[in-house]
Amino acid sequence: MSDVQSIRCPACGATNRVKRDMVAQGLAATCGRCHARLPLAQPVEVTDGSFAADVLDAPLPVLVDAWAPWCGPCRAVAPIVEELAADFAGRVRVAKLDVDENPRTAARYDLRSIPTLLVFRGGREVDRVVGLRPKAEIAERLEKALASR
């Protein structure tokens, strides 16, 4: 049973067994009791070394949260990014990039202000959201990026 993990449904509290490879791939899953979406997808940490594999070569569009631990607005947007990871599970991969720890990637994408959210599709940046923005606005921009396939 090591290939499954238990995830508690946030809506009804039921414990659901979900395959670990589904979680790793960010695929969507629903509760067996109430059919609510389970919070499988968590943002993945990316680095200068893993950025190409985790973001540019990803089979799904990727939302990258460029942040720093000392940044107040970055800490404020973090829960929004986690909610978006769950809301878009199976459709968008969500990643976090600490700009202080990964200066090459930050310089490559000219990240001068944080928080900055970058949307990648097919290895190319297709949108950029700078600053603390409401969840609805970020979700709308993600939907537009998904629709323009």
pLDDT in tens, 50-82: 999 999 998 889 999 999 999 999 999 999 998
Residue 128 and residue 113: Cα distance in Å, rounded? Answer: 11
State the average pLDDT over residues 15-20. Answer: 80
The residues, any chain, with a CB within 8 Å of residue 2's CB and separated by 6 or more, are 20
Q: Are residues 13 and 61 in the same domain?
A: no
Residue 128 has pLDDT above 70, yes or no: yes
Q: Are residues 69 and 5 in the same domain?
A: no
Range of the domain at 135: 44-147
Which residue out of 9, 31, 34, 71 is catalytically annotated?
Answer: 71
CATH number of the domain residue 83 falls in: 3.40.30.10
Tell the residue number behind the tokens 């670990």, with chain if given.
Answer: 20
Who wins on pLDDT, 57 or 89?
Answer: 57
Q: Are residues 76 and 130 in the same domain?
A: yes
Number of domains in the chain: 2
Q: Are residues 63 and 121 in the same domain?
A: yes
9 counts as catalytic: no
74 counts as catalytic: yes
